[in-house]
Amino acid sequence: MTTTSSVGQATPPSTRHTASADSPPVGSPPLRQTRDKVDPTFYWMLIPVLALFAFFITLPALVGVFFSLTNYAGYGDWKFIGLTNYVNIFKDPAVLQSYLFTFFFALTTTVVVNVVSLAIALGLNAKIKWRTGIRTVFFIPMVLSALIVSFVFNYLFSNTLPVLAERFGLTPLASSILANENLAWIAIVLVTVWQAAPGATIIYLAGLQSVPSEVYEAADLDGAGSWRQFTHLTLPLILGYLVINVILGFKGFLGTYEIIVGLTGGGPGMATQSVAMRIFSGFTGGDYSYQMANAVIYFLITLLISVIQLRLIQRRGVSL
Amino acid sequence: MTAVLPSRRLLLKAAGISCTAALLPLSACATSSPAQQKGVTQLRFMQNKPEVVAYFNQVIKDFEALNPDIHVVQDFNEGNFVPSLVRNDPPDVVTRGFAQATADFTRKGVFADLSDLPSAATIDPKVQALVNSWGQYKGETSAIPFSLAGAGVIYNRDIFAQNGVAVPTTWDEFLAACEIFGAAGITPIYGTFKDTWTLQQGAFDYVTGGTVDVEDFFARLYAEGADIREDAPESFSSNFGPALPKILQLTAFTQTGASSKNYADGNAAFGRGQAAMYLQGPWALSELVKANKNIQLGTFPLPATNNPADTKARVNVDMALSITRNTPNRAAAERFVNYLLEPSVVNTFNEKNAAFSPLMNAPAVGNPQISGLAAYVAEGRYYQGAGTYFPPSVPLGNYIQSFVYNRNAGQFLRDLDAEWRRVAERTAV
């Protein structure tokens, strides 16, 4: 009994395997069953999940959209103010700056993560010594909480690194880069890449393992060097995995929050405020409805990006 | 083979039903209420200082012994307050630090009127005025002060004595003291710029509080509403300009690498005697003693001008007692508040926590750590920090940090004016 599909449930084992390939046997019950009547069990499995999703995700989101049209502070009296919050968002340089920073950060990090993790995956896929052990080491960052990782790095950047730099006479590095408005983003990108690369590496490894070795043997016979093999064979063959990594990564980095909180708290000054941090500040700052409007705008932007990305994926023939 | 199929379907069905069943307790717990003993009123008391839980546990025990018909439950997670308001189930008695953030609750009528309580008459009117200055709801008394924290420059008495430096009374004397420490190889002021709030409550609040009439400034600014322009007489640009160079003079006397130190680093370092002065409030004192139990500490208000008569201490109402308006246990809550404001309770608390009692007949402060502020507090020569007047949606600490790093005063003032105008615009509609 190995079947997992409902279609073949009542079909005798002898006909089950041929049913999909040949024309269905006359008067076979399974097809009529799928066309006319779906086993109610599947609805019973879906409804609780749907109810939970609607109650805990959809409903709060709609409440948030509703309050974005008011001047509600999170408590007390409120009244409708139409689209005023939305208009004010576009006039607020602090919010606009957080959008610029977030997109800049997401783009940079996506590029760096994919370059780094592809390089790691290529290395881990080669016939190296202790391959399993080294792979395990490379995946450790994935199981650590981002907040803890960023607090540890915060300590390293603020205390350990300046002390080391001073000892070796590297004066420009003697003050923490977290305290430098122009450099703090580098630390954030670095820690994010450290944390996100293993996940991308796993996907690339899966991709690399799916490339048959005969392809490389043929390329070797034709005299292609390793760089040509990489650009003309490996890369096109794992393009689907690259697309998935870029899309998932970019989407995730747009919502960046805890690593920034742990490293800089949005500072120094206002240099590293992400959109998610701005939105969350509305809960504590009595700015609830204003930041709800911000959240709605951000939702629409990410929705638009997702739709464009899905179109691109479909054109490439990759499915998530 | 086919005999297996029904049982599988049954299994799926069972899984579906158990999923739905898992939802039921969620809706059930919303309606259940804690079982109450007959005749005993349960009060929920939310206080805002997790470090004094033990003291209030003792106070509650004593209170319950005198009032067996009341049971008080202490909650020290202030973060629950707004959610409890949203759920319309706030605690009965609340303590809060009084500043702009709390003023909004007052103005929206969240708290009951306490002006008729007998204990309200025992409070120093100057301290009550500090609470009321944040706005009142229909002229009511929404909160009664419980603890007044006085903040200034914490100094290491031993380092001062070893270098023959007396407590400065003018700005020039203060700078001269910093020079002496610097020449002796001692860090004059320990800076913790990584935590933006320490810059805000220290250098920013102390210098502006000593040079600008903060209360009057913000009263005029709030009255102006959203129509504030940079060149208006009420703007930050027109009032805070002279104070800003002094903030930079002050922060220049901190150790190198102050920008990568936080509050905890500062407490440890100052406790070990790595600097002569530390711009922190009384909340840091116990941490400093924890780092070094032999440290001899004192506090003086920062003299921000060369006229000693201008010098004032920074105070904040660290805890004020309120009763929420819709509580069903009003009488019991009033009895509890009156008990908390009995001299033995309120004075002991403030003595233990290096704070000032708000009572009219409070005993003189003997604690050498804060005695340098006592005369200023007794005479009412104090201000509430400029930073506390900002709505919480203005990231003031980040702006101050930017200013200290980039030393661009014009940009800082323009940012403050613009940010203030935007917040006023969207909260006034």
Predicted confidence at residue A71, as pLDDT, reads 84
**Which of chain A's residues have a Cβ under 8 Å away from the Cβ of B429?**
71, 81, 84
Examine residue A267 and state whether it is found in any structural domain, yes or no.
Answer: yes
Question: Environment class of residue B21 by beta-carbon count within 10 Å: exposed (0-12), middle (13-18) or buried (19+)?
Answer: exposed
For residues B163 and B303, the answer to whether their CB atoms sit within 8 Å is no
Test A281 with B393 for CB contact under 8 angstroms. yes
**Which of chain B's residues have a Cβ under 8 Å away from the Cβ of A44?**
12-13, 16-17, 19-20
Q: Which residue has the tokens 């233990």?
A: B352
Q: Which of residues 289-308 of A touch B (CB under 8 A)?
A: 290
- Provide mean pLDDT across the span A114-126: 92
- Provide mean pLDDT across the span A151-162: 89
**Shared domain check, A260 and A186:** yes
What distance in Å separates the CA atoms of residue B426 and residue A85, rounded to the nearest whole number? 7
Test B104 with A159 for CB contact under 8 angstroms. no
Third-level CATH fold of B150-315+385-428:
D-Maltodextrin-Binding Protein; domain 2 (3.40.190)
Predicted confidence at residue A222, as pLDDT, reads 86
**Angstrom distances, CA of residue A303 to CA of A102, A298, B22, B428:** 16, 8, 32, 32
Cross-strand partners of B316: B149
Examine residue A1 and state whether it is found in any structural domain, yes or no.
Answer: no
CATH code 3.40.190.10 region(s) in chain B: 41-149+316-364, 150-315+385-428
Q: Which of A53, A75, A159, A166 is best to mutate for the B interface (most B CBs within 10 A)?
A: A75
Examine residue A291 and state whether it is found in any structural domain, yes or no.
Answer: yes
| DSSP-derived 3-state class of residue B93 | strand
Test B82 with A287 for CB contact under 8 angstroms. no
**Shared domain check, A181 and A143:** yes
CB of A166 within 8 Å of any CB in chain B? no
Cα A157 → chain centroid = 26
CATH class of the structural domain B41-149+316-364: alpha beta
| DSSP-derived 3-state class of residue B109 | coil
**Which of chain B's residues have a Cβ under 8 Å away from the Cβ of A263?**
none
Predicted confidence at residue A134, as pLDDT, reads 87
Please report, to the nearest 10 degrees, the dihedral formed by the alpha carbons of residues B343, B348, B353, B357 taken in order: 20
What distance in Å separates the CA atoms of residue B217 and residue B235, rounded to the nearest whole number? 9
CATH number at residue A208: 1.10.3720.10
Containing domain of residue A184, as a range?
86-316
Q: Which of B2, B17, B325, B393 is best to mutate for the A interface (most A CBs within 10 A)?
A: B393
Examine residue A51 and state whether it is found in any structural domain, yes or no.
Answer: yes
Predicted confidence at residue A110, as pLDDT, reads 95
**Shared domain check, A207 and A168:** yes
For the stretch A187-245, pLDDT in tens is: 999 999 999 999 999 999 999 998 888 888 888 888 888 888 888 888 888 888 998 89
Q: Which residue has the tokens 């004593």?
A: B62
For residues A247 and A255, the answer to whether their CB atoms sit within 8 Å is no
CB of A93 within 8 Å of any CB in chain B? yes
Q: Which of residues 111-140 of A touch B (CB under 8 A)?
A: none
**Which of chain B's residues have a Cβ under 8 Å away from the Cβ of A175?**
256-257, 259-260
> Which amino acid appears at position B198 of this protein?
T
Test B16 with A47 for CB contact under 8 angstroms. yes
Examine residue A20 and state whether it is found in any structural domain, yes or no.
Answer: no
**Shared domain check, A223 and A168:** yes
- Provide mean pLDDT across the span A18-22: 43
**Shared domain check, A51 and A122:** no
**Shared domain check, A224 and A311:** yes
**Shared domain check, A265 and A149:** yes
Encoded tokens for A168 = 């070796």
CA distance B68 to chain A (A): 35
The predicted model scores a pTM of 0.80
**Shared domain check, A275 and A204:** yes
Test A286 with B419 for CB contact under 8 angstroms. no
What distance in Å separates the CA atoms of residue B294 and residue A128, rounded to the nearest whole number? 59
Q: With a cut of 70, which residues of chain B have pLDDT below it?
A: 1-38, 428-429
CA distance A31 to chain B (A): 17
Examine residue A16 and state whether it is found in any structural domain, yes or no.
Answer: no
Picking from A16, A38, A67, the residue at the C-terminal end of a domain is A67
| DSSP-derived 3-state class of residue B140 | coil
Predicted confidence at residue B428, as pLDDT, reads 64
Q: What's the whole-number average pLDDT of chain A?
A: 83
Give residue A311's pLDDT band: very low, low, confident or very high (50, 70, 90): confident
What distance in Å separates the CA atoms of residue A304 and residue B221, rounded to the nearest whole number? 42
**Shared domain check, A229 and A91:** yes
Number of structural domains, chain A? Answer: 2
- Provide mean pLDDT across the span A92-102: 91
**Shared domain check, A227 and A192:** yes
Predicted confidence at residue A191, as pLDDT, reads 95
A3 has pLDDT over 70: no
**Shared domain check, A267 and A170:** yes
**Shared domain check, A203 and A59:** no
Cross-strand partners of A23: none
CA angle A230, A231, A234 (to 5 degrees): 50
